[in-house]
Structure formats: C-alpha cells, structure tokens
Amino acid sequence: MIKAVLLDLDNTLLGNDPDPFTRRYLALLDSFVQQRLGTPSILEALWAGTRAVLADTDPLRTNAERFYDAFMRLVPTDRATFARAMQEFYADLYPTLEPLTQRRPGARRLVEWLLGAGYAVVIATNPLFPHVAVQHRLAWAGVPVDQVPLTLVTTLDNMHFAKPHPAYYEEILARLGLEASEAIMVGDDWEHDILPARAAGLNAFWVCGDGRGCDTEAARQVDGCGSLADFADRVSEERWLETVAPRPLEPAQIVPRLTANVAALDSLVRETAPEAWLTHPAAGEWSPLEVLGHLLVTEREVYRPRLHTILSTDTPVLAALAEAPAPTVPPGAEHPRALLELFVAERRATLDLLATLAPKDWQRPAHHHRLGLTTLLGVADLIAQHDRQHLRQMREAIAHSL
C-alpha cells in the first residue's frame, strides 16, 4: 500500500528547462564569486565537487562534505568566507532566475491533496543544490516550505547519495521508516527519476510533458505515465494509488537498501543530541543507544551467520531465537558516533559477503521460523526490514525525550 509520494521538482512540479537555467545559473554564480572574492573562474571546481558527489557512496559522508572537500581544493579562499558569499548570492541574485521557470498551476493543489489524504510527500529533487536554492525553486513552484508541511525535501546538505543511485531513493525510505512497496516516485527524467527508483523497488509514474508524447515502449515499463495533471486526476478522482501493485523483490535492491539504512542512522546521529540517545522512553524499554547496540550484535551474531548457513547448507532450518540479542554497548562506544562506526564495520562485512554471491546463490532455499520456505534473498531483505523497524523505534524514543 502506498504511503509516500516522492515528487521530483524541476520539470515535474516546476517548469524548468535545465539547459538555459543551468547556463544562466553558472554564469551568474561564477561572475559573482570572481567579483566578490577576487578568485578566478570556479566552474571547474563546481564540476569537481559534483563529480565527487556522484562518485562516492560512503554512507557516513553527506553530499555536502563530498562536494566541499573536492571544491575547496580548487578555490583560493576558505570555507567560511565562501559560505558568507553564498548567503549573499542566494539572497540577492539567485531569485533573478525565477523568470526562466514556469509555475504549474496544479502543483500546489496536488501536494495539498496528497498531504490531506494522509500521504507523506517528499520533494525528491536531485540533492546537488543547498537547501536555500531548493527553497527558492519550491516557492517559484507555489509550494513554499513555510506554508506547506512537506515531509522531507532532499538537498545537498541532508542526503548521502544523489540521483541516479538507487541508494538515494532507499535513503529517503529509510528516513521515513518505509519499505519500497510503500512509495511511488513521480518524475520527468527517465534516467534519473524512473529507472533508479524502479531499481530500488519503488513504483513509478513518468511525467512526460503534456502526457500526449509519452514513448509507448517506455510507458509499458512504468505503473503510469502522463502529465502532472493526469497524475493528479488519477490519484484524487480514481484513487489510483490504492490499486498500485508492489514491485517484486530483486537481488539488486539489497546492497543499496542496506547501505542507505546506514546513511539514515548517520543522519540520526548528526541531528540528535548525545544525551537523547541515553533516554529510556519507559521503564524496561531500550534507549536509542541500546537499540543501536542491538543492531550491531544482531548483524554479527544472527544475520550474517544465517547467510553463511544458507550458503553452506542445503535448505537449513533457521529457528527462532529464544530471546532477542541483548543490546550490548561495548566499552568505549558509549557515544552514538563510536557505536555507529562499530555497527558500520559489521555491516560492511555483510556487504562484502553479499558482493561474492553468484546470481543462483540469492535463490538458495531455507526454512525461516517466520517467513516459512524462503531464500537467501528473502533473509537478506529481512535484515533491511529489521534496520528500519529499529530506526523507527529510535526516532520514537528520541522524540519522547524532547
């Protein structure tokens, strides 16, 4: 059942031809920086930063960290000085780009209908721009963030991956605590919106212009296609989202899913005060830090050994545990960042194991105490579901402490 709608921004909610907009934006930014800071052209530095974002998939580094690590090496100024200049640029000059865009009349009405119907609404724009730039474009689209309670807006600052990596979509799901079968991506770009979202297991609606020029062969590969107005009519008048069938589980979904869950944990650590991790929501309930310790122990002592067992034994029986693994917090790992790094080491060992699998290995059978007759693929996906169950538990416990 669909619970979240991911909406692309440029050329989906907002009419914005990328070529003239990008050319004008880069020329304006480059000229401003040269005059304001006395630097040579920063265009090569911008491309270097963008390439770094797209090339690196470390779930413990944000896109902004990757971008500025590469960018600042090529710009003869310090980060603080450049940041002050960017505040001025986005306040004074970036708004002059609005005439290059076109408001789509139904965009706000669609977003408000989805929110009113109880769907989570994510602005899933490629997170290569800082938050302030995305804020401006949302306002141009008629969906200002101070008026519309969006569930999440992806930006350079708050994401660890970018389109077209499937992990970008998985990170959104992990932050929302949802499964791929519970979300649909709505976007215009076949290569960046539709294909990677489908690869991650999401449903997809392809926004192809006015809806009359959709490629017939491509249209057969998605759940729906047409104009943004067509999508709005289908979800509001026909209740189409209630009938969309989930996509099948495939081996290619697992590694991005397990990696993105780590990124969601990293965001939780960054955004939460250390003392909140020690709070118990109620007597006898685990603190968020203990939940993270449980994930570490379970990865090391339950899930990875089970994968090994399936690989080495014909149709093994994976019996229920007598009790859940104790939420161990090793000495020296009392800070959530230290404990997260220990968990990541275990997760990387699991990912290394999965990287060795041949296609037939994913289909090796096992009897699981809850799933019944399943496969290694099903057990691997259970690891991701376990992550997200406890991510929700941690968020609820942290919210309780505030």
pLDDT in tens, the chain (402 residues): 999 999 999 999 999 998 899 999 999 999 999 999 999 999 999 999 999 999 988 999 999 999 999 999 999 999 999 999 999 999 999 999 999 999 998 999 999 999 999 999 999 999 999 999 999 999 999 999 999 999 999 999 999 999 999 999 999 999 999 999 999 999 999 999 999 999 999 999 999 876 666 777 777 889 999 999 999 999 998 899 999 999 999 999 999 999 999 999 999 999 999 999 999 988 888 999 999 999 999 999 999 999 999 999 999 999 988 887 878 888 877 899 999 999 999 999 999 999 999 999 999 999 999 999 999 999 999 999 999 999 999 999 998 877
Separate counts of helices (H) and strands (E) for the chain: 15, 11
What are the DSSP E strand ranges found in 286-352?
A: 317-318
Residue 101 near residue 24 (C-beta atoms within 8 A): no
What values do phi and psi take at 216, rounded to 5?
-65, -45
Alpha-carbon separation of residue 20 from 25, 26, 244, 289 (angstroms)? 8, 10, 36, 49
Show the tokens assigned to 246: 């989930």
Is 0.75 surpassed by the pTM of this model? yes
Residue 226 near residue 207 (C-beta atoms within 8 A): yes
* Of the candidates 259, 211, 255, the residue with the CA atom closest to the CA atom of residue 231: 211
For 180, residues 6+ apart whose C-beta sits below 8 A from its C-beta are 169, 170, 173, 200, 201, 202, 246, 247, 253, 257
Alpha-carbon separation of residue 234 from 5, 229, 230 (angstroms)? 13, 9, 6
Show the tokens assigned to 115: 């929110």
Spatial separation of the C-alpha atoms in residues 92 and 293, rounded to whole Å: 47
| Backbone angle region of 372, left / alpha / beta, with phi > 0 → left and psi within -120 to 50 → alpha | left
* Of the candidates 134, 171, 153, 195, the residue with the CA atom closest to the CA atom of residue 57: 171
Spatial separation of the C-alpha atoms in residues 259 and 37, rounded to whole Å: 39
* Helix%, strand%, coil% for the chain, nearest 5: 55, 10, 35
